[in-house]
Amino acid sequence: MPSVVDQFNAERSSLQSEIKDLHSLNQDLQAKLSSPQMMPPSAEGALTSNVFDIFTQIHGMKDLSSTNIFTIEDPEVIFIKDQLHFRFNIVNQTKENQKYSGHVFVIFKDENAYHIYPAEAMTAENFKIQFNQGESFATTRFRPVEATFKGAPQGEQGIFNVFIFSRTGDLVHKQTFIKKLRP
């Protein structure tokens, strides 16, 4: 009987933590939606339209990538059959490794084309990506990511852009890598 009680207490604690996280997220979203208007592109912290035309901008969206919430470590390119795999670790840099969650995208450019991970993130209607269509993640220390791109890439090197958005739509990390595609 004591093991059942311990199990229920652990589950209760987990659910209380989840409720606390959801309450905090709800407050952040309410604050963002109640702000009078989206900051103009020239305002400090606002997303500049020429860099992020591929992402659908939402009300109150900000570029917080200079806050150094994350770093990207151990980026590598691996080929398996006819697929290119770009692997890396998202490393949490918050104080005391606070739990952080969001959405990650990788945009890969080879000689001839752009490729997006996850592939289903872009809509066919307007060729835009919504911030919440990326690979969902949560981390307290680090989180491995493997972006897979089908087909053989063209050229000797590729450019990989990693974008990480918070759950409320702010850009919290962006980083570019140039990697050799051929040995």
| CATH number for the domain harbouring residue 120 | 2.60.40.10
**Residue 93 pLDDT > 80:** yes
Closest CA to 163 of 177, 173, 178: 173
Distance CA 100, CA 70 (A): 10
Domain membership of residue 21 (yes or no) is no
Average pLDDT of the residues in 66-85:
90
- pLDDT category at 74 given cuts 50, 70, 90 is very high
Domain membership of residue 55 (yes or no) is no
Domain membership of residue 43 (yes or no) is no
Structure tokens at 115: 């490729």
Strand partners, 106: 117, 162
pLDDT, tens only, 8-66 = 888 999 899 888 888 887 777 766 665 554 444 444 444 444 445 788 887 778 888 88
Strand partners, 84: 79, 149
Share of the chain above pLDDT 70, in %: 86
Domain membership of residue 149 (yes or no) is yes
User: Which pLDDT belongs to residue 45?
Assistant: 43
Q: Residue 79 carries which side chain, given as an amino acid letter?
A: F
Q: Residue 13 carries which side chain, given as an amino acid letter?
A: S
**Side-chain half-sphere exposure of 182, counting CA atoms within 13 A:** 8
Domain membership of residue 113 (yes or no) is yes
DSSP assignment letter at 153 = P
R_g (Cα) of the chain, nearest Å = 19
Domain membership of residue 53 (yes or no) is no
Distance CA 118, CA 136 (A): 10
Domain membership of residue 36 (yes or no) is no
Q: Which domain holds residue 144?
A: 65-180
Domain membership of residue 42 (yes or no) is no
| Number of structural domains in the chain | 1
Distance CA 155, CA 112 (A): 8
